[in-house]
Amino acid sequence: MDAELEADACLALSQVGGIGPVMFSRILARFASAHAGYHASKQDLTEIVGMKRAGALVSFRSRFRPRETRLAYAKRGVETIAQTSSRYPPALKEIPDPPICLFAMGDSSLLTDRRLWIAVVGTRTPSSYGREVAWLFAVGLARAGCGIISGLALGVDTIAHTAALEEKGPTIAVLGSGIDIIYPYANAPLFARIRKNGLLVSEFPPGQGVVRGLFIARNRIVSGLAKGTFVVEGGEHSGALTTGRLAAEQGRDVFAPPVPLTSPLSKAPTILLKNGAKLVTEPGDILEEYGHSRIIPAAPAPPLTKPEEMLVACVREGMPMDRIIRATGFGTAETLALFSLLEMKGVVEKDAMGNYRLR
């Protein structure tokens, strides 16, 4: 079957209401290809997906132009990778509900790269301990040649992606929105860096806005792409805990560090450890699980970016937060994200009043 015809059919099926991964697998099982299934008669489709879904599909294909849509995406730098394509990640085909299509920007060859991929996930508001652990493990794993996967959120995700980029290692960011939607916007510079030096991927097409439920769906892809998932910190009802549980359900390894028992952010790793996750105290513990014996040298302090240097200068002058935001021109969210990275790099710390000072 022609790869472009398959890509067009998968793209179309992924956008038909009521046709998700489960229905798509039934279509593939019944017909010779996605293309054949998409163009099947209403009667044949009804036998597989039911009358209502079959009617919706037939109506949809009368007005949707998959080839034109896919080529329009391509002009914007967005690749459409069908589940039936050889470019689709083999690891993702192993999970119960793999996306029908993936949309990618950046180096899509990373999806079929055979190196060891580890997901590093955690809360958006990590403690200083959590920031240090996330950086230590992400740097160590990247230095050992591993790829780092995370979700581009603030906090642990940002630290994980940044660590991989600083070490010139590959990183994949899985988005919970359309592939062209930058969320949170404070991570726009990181989004651009990953697009240039890594890979952005989503199961949602360009233009799909931010909806809370989509981030839960995103988490299964984060864990599904990885050989193992390292959960740094997270609350009892956090997305990090969900990702760890999904990883276990997918037959992946789950790792967690020792955590302060009195911290509410210890709930996710503690629950996972009680349910079979592997306790790790250094990156080498994860590497040993896969027979990876490369020595990881100690990580030096990463260099500061120009925006970070601006914040350091403001802190040195004793400016309060509102003046820092005005002086730099950064928004509140971006300023807080930058300060989080500066804390992780050991440059600043909070005093008893919650104000930042140089270490």
Handedness of CA 279, 284, 288, 291 (dihedral sign): positive
Do residues 200 and 173 make contact, with C-beta atoms less than 8 angstroms apart? yes
Residues 6+ apart with CB under 8 A from 238: 123, 267, 268
User: Which residue in the block uniquely carries the two structure tokens 């995700």?
Assistant: 157
More confident residue, 244 or 317: 244
pLDDT reported for residue 1: 56
**Does residue 295 surpass a pLDDT of 60?**
no
**Does residue 193 surpass a pLDDT of 60?**
yes
Average pLDDT over residues 130-157: 95
**Does residue 50 surpass a pLDDT of 90?**
yes
pLDDT reported for residue 354: 75
In which order are the strands placed within the sheet that holds 147-150? Answer: 79-82, 101-106, 199-202, 171-174, 147-150, 117-121, 228-231, 253-256, 278-279
DSSP 251-274: T-EEEE----TTSGGGHHHHHHHH
Pick from 30-44, 283-297, 336-350 the range whose average pLDDT is largest.
30-44
Residues 6+ apart with CB under 8 A from 171: 147, 148, 149, 150, 160, 161, 164, 165, 194, 197, 198, 199
More confident residue, 359 or 192: 192
CA distance 31 to 16: 18
Q: Which of 273, 202, 269 is nearest to 235 (CA)?
A: 269
Pairing of strands 101-106, 199-202: antiparallel
Average pLDDT over residues 85-94: 94
| Structure tokens belonging to residue 91 | 């690891």
Task: Tell me the angle at which helices 42-49 and 21-30 cross, rounded to the nearest 10 degrees.
Answer: 120
pLDDT reported for residue 346: 75
pLDDT reported for residue 17: 85
Write down the pTM of the prediction.
0.83
CA distance 216 to 243: 8
CA distance 200 to 226: 15
Average pLDDT over residues 163-173: 95
pLDDT reported for residue 301: 57
Query: Where exactly are the structural domains of the chain?
Result: 3-108, 115-289, 306-358
Q: How many residues does the chain have?
A: 359
| Structure tokens belonging to residue 231 | 């959960």
Do residues 260 and 266 make contact, with C-beta atoms less than 8 angstroms apart? yes
| CATH architecture for segment(s) 115-289 | 3-Layer(aba) Sandwich (3.40)
**Residue 97 pLDDT level (bands cut at 50, 70, 90):** very high
For the chain, first and last CA: distance in Å?
61
What's at 92, amino acid-wise?
Answer: L
**Residue 61 pLDDT level (bands cut at 50, 70, 90):** very high
What's at 307, amino acid-wise?
Answer: P
CA distance 218 to 230: 16
User: What Rg value do the Cα atoms of the chain yield, rounded?
Assistant: 22
**306-358: CATH topology:** Arc Repressor Mutant, subunit A (1.10.10)
**Does residue 125 surpass a pLDDT of 70?**
yes
**Does residue 296 surpass a pLDDT of 60?**
no
Average pLDDT over residues 61-90: 95
